[in-house]
A and B are shown apart, each in its own frame.
Chain A
Amino acid sequence: MEKQKKWFANSYLLLVFAILYAPIIFLAIYSFNSGGSMVGFEEFTFEWYQELFTDTRLFIILLNTLVVALLSATIATIVGIAGALAIHTIENTKYKSMLLTLNNILIVSPDVIIGASFLILFTVMGISLGFFSVLLSHIAFSIPIVVIMILPKLKEMSPSLIDAAQDLGASRWQVISRVILPYITSGIFAGFFTALTFSLDDFAVTFFVTGNGFNTLAVEVYSLARQGISLKINALSTIIFMITLILVLGYYFLSTRKKPVMIGGDE
Chain B
Amino acid sequence: MSNTIIRFENVTKVFDDHIVLDNVSFEIERGKFYTLLGPSGCGKTTILRLIAGFVEPTQGNIYIDENCVNKIPANLRPVNTVFQDYALFPHLNVFENVAFGLRIKKVSAHEVKERVANALKFVNLEGFENREITEMSGGQRQRVAIARAIVNQPQLVLLDEPLSALDLKLRTEMQYELRELQQRLGITFVFVTHDQEEALAMSDEIFVLNKGTIQQSGTPTDIYDEPINRFVADFIGESNIVEGTMLADNLVSFANRTFDCVDMGFNQNEPVEVIIRPEDLEMTSAETGKIPVKVDSQLFRGVHYEICCYDDFKNEWLVHSTKKVEVGSTIGLDFDPEAIHIMRLGETEAEFDKRLEAYED
Contacts of A166 in B (CB 8 A): 53-54, 73-75
Contacts of A165 in B (CB 8 A): 89, 100
Question: Is the pair B91, A265 in contact by a Cβ cutoff of 8 Å?
Answer: no
* Residue B127 lies at the interface, judged by CB distance under 8 Å to chain A: no
Question: Is the pair A163, B83 in contact by a Cβ cutoff of 8 Å?
Answer: yes
Give how many A-B residue pairs fall within 8 Å (CB-CB).
86
* Residue B235 lies at the interface, judged by CB distance under 8 Å to chain A: no
Q: A160-B84, A263-B87 are in contact. List 17 more A-B contacts (CB 8 A).
A: A163-B81, A163-B87, A166-B53, A166-B75, A167-B52, A167-B74, A167-B79, A168-B148, A169-B105, A170-B100, A179-B89, A183-B91, A263-B85, A263-B86, A263-B90, A263-B133, A265-B85
Please name 25 pairs of A and B residues whose Cβ atoms are closer than 8 Å in the assembled complex, sorted by A. Answer: A160-B85, A160-B87, A161-B87, A163-B54, A163-B74, A166-B53, A166-B54, A166-B74, A166-B75, A167-B81, A168-B75, A168-B80, A168-B152, A169-B152, A170-B100, A178-B104, A182-B89, A185-B91, A260-B90, A261-B90, A263-B89, A263-B90, A263-B141, A265-B138, A265-B165
Contacts of A178 in B (CB 8 A): 100, 104
Contacts of A260 in B (CB 8 A): 90
**Using a CB-CB cutoff of 8 Å, which residues 135-184 of chain B contact chain A?**
138, 141, 148, 152, 164-165
Contacts of A2 in B (CB 8 A): none
* Residue B329 lies at the interface, judged by CB distance under 8 Å to chain A: no
A150 to chain B, nearest CB (A): 16
* Residue B322 lies at the interface, judged by CB distance under 8 Å to chain A: no
- Residue in B89, B90, B104, B165 whose CB lies within 8 Å of A262: B90
Complex-state Cα separation, A35 to B186, whole angstroms: 89
**Chain B interface residues toward A at CB < 8 A:** 52-54, 73-76, 79-81, 83-91, 100-101, 104-105, 132-134, 138, 141, 148, 152, 164-165
Contacts of B54 in A (CB 8 A): 163, 166-167
Question: Is the pair A265, B84 in contact by a Cβ cutoff of 8 Å?
Answer: yes
* Residue A158 lies at the interface, judged by CB distance under 8 Å to chain B: yes
A-B interface, 7 closest residue pairs, ranked by CB to CB distance from nearest: A265-B165, A168-B101, A164-B87, A160-B87, A182-B91, A166-B74, A169-B104
Contacts of B75 in A (CB 8 A): 166-171
Question: Is the pair A266, B138 in contact by a Cβ cutoff of 8 Å?
Answer: yes
Contact digits for A173-190, partner B, Cβ 8 Å, 1 yes 0 no: 010001100110100000
Most central of A167, A261, A262 by chain B CB within 10 Å: A167
Complex-state Cα separation, A261 to B164, whole angstroms: 22
| CB nearest neighbor in B for A159 | B87
Complex-state Cα separation, A263 to B141, whole angstroms: 10
Contact digits for A244-267, partner B, Cβ 8 Å, 1 yes 0 no: 000000000000000011111110
B217 to chain A, nearest CB (A): 25
**Chain A interface residues toward B at CB < 8 A:** 158, 160-161, 163-171, 174, 178-179, 182-183, 185, 260-266
A169 to chain B, nearest CB (A): 4
Question: Is the pair A164, B90 in contact by a Cβ cutoff of 8 Å?
Answer: no
A159 to chain B, nearest CB (A): 9
Question: Is the pair B85, A158 in contact by a Cβ cutoff of 8 Å?
Answer: yes
Q: From known contacts A165-B100, A168-B100, A169-B104, infer whether A264 and B85 are also in contact, taking CB-CB under 8 Å.
A: yes
Contacts of A174 in B (CB 8 A): 104
Question: Is the pair B89, A161 in contact by a Cβ cutoff of 8 Å?
Answer: yes
Contacts of A262 in B (CB 8 A): 90
Complex-state Cα separation, A88 to B85, whole angstroms: 21
| CB nearest neighbor in B for A181 | B91
Complex-state Cα separation, A265 to B74, whole angstroms: 23
A227 to chain B, nearest CB (A): 53
A131 to chain B, nearest CB (A): 38
Complex-state Cα separation, A168 to B89, whole angstroms: 12
Question: Is the pair A261, B74 in contact by a Cβ cutoff of 8 Å?
Answer: no
A123 to chain B, nearest CB (A): 47
Question: Is the pair A261, B87 in contact by a Cβ cutoff of 8 Å?
Answer: no
B85 to chain A, nearest CB (A): 5
Complex-state Cα separation, A169 to B151, whole angstroms: 13
Complex-state Cα separation, A255 to B307, whole angstroms: 61
- Residue in A161, A167, A183, A265 whose CB lies within 8 Å of B80: A167
